[in-house]
Amino acid sequence: MFKGTWGAAGLALTLTTVTAQAEPVSPTGKGIAGGALLGAEIVVVTESFVGLSNGWWYLLGGTLGAAGGGVGGYFVEQSAPTELSLYMLVGGMALVIPASISYLNATSYAPDLDGDNPNDVPSEVDVDAEFGKTVPTRLSPSLVQVEDGSLRLDVPDVQVSDVYTRAERLELGMQQQTQVLFPLLGGRF
């Protein structure tokens, strides 16, 4: 009896056929999105190879490149085969990470480690030798940097440190506290 039940189920499965029909892919939106991505990425990668370090140029160039690429993608959608719009979208998505890396590499903070620059100053000056406090003399990166009349966004230099030195705790009888410094605006005025 058990054998007959499985036989009927197997017969029902073999008689049932499933048909799948593929619908044609529409190029609408794919060419515009792919063109916008490719346009922005081409401009950003070119700017990074040229050596621009100001983030505002990347914002302006990437926006204009995306606009031009989007317009070009629209015309590709209208006149070219559907596959080209799909290839543009896939290519644009594939190049997001390399373009982002080239942007970050070009705009990252790079101090002069050789000492060739006469404008370099020591990174710290000993202000209070008795308690061992030092004060940084260089500008640490903040979220918004203003230098030489230019404005740029940067990765802030977040610091976690003790509030009191050992001598201050012994002298004042204070319990140690921890402070978090998150610079928002930095520059020379």
Give per-10-residue mean pLDDT for the chain (189 aa). Answer: 54 59 79 93 90 85 94 91 89 91 81 54 52 57 77 80 86 86 77
Mark which of 50, 72, 107 sits at the end of a domain. 107
Mark which of 107, 139, 157 sits at the end of a domain. 107
Q: Which domain holds residue 62?
A: 26-107
Q: Count of domains in the chain?
A: 2
Q: Is residue 31 part of a domain?
A: yes
Q: Is residue 140 part of a domain?
A: yes
CA–CA separation, 71 vs 147, rounded Å?
36
Q: Is residue 2 part of a domain?
A: no
Handedness of CA 81, 82, 83, 85 (dihedral sign): positive
Q: Report whether 136 contacts 144 (CB < 8 A).
A: no
Q: Is residue 21 part of a domain?
A: no
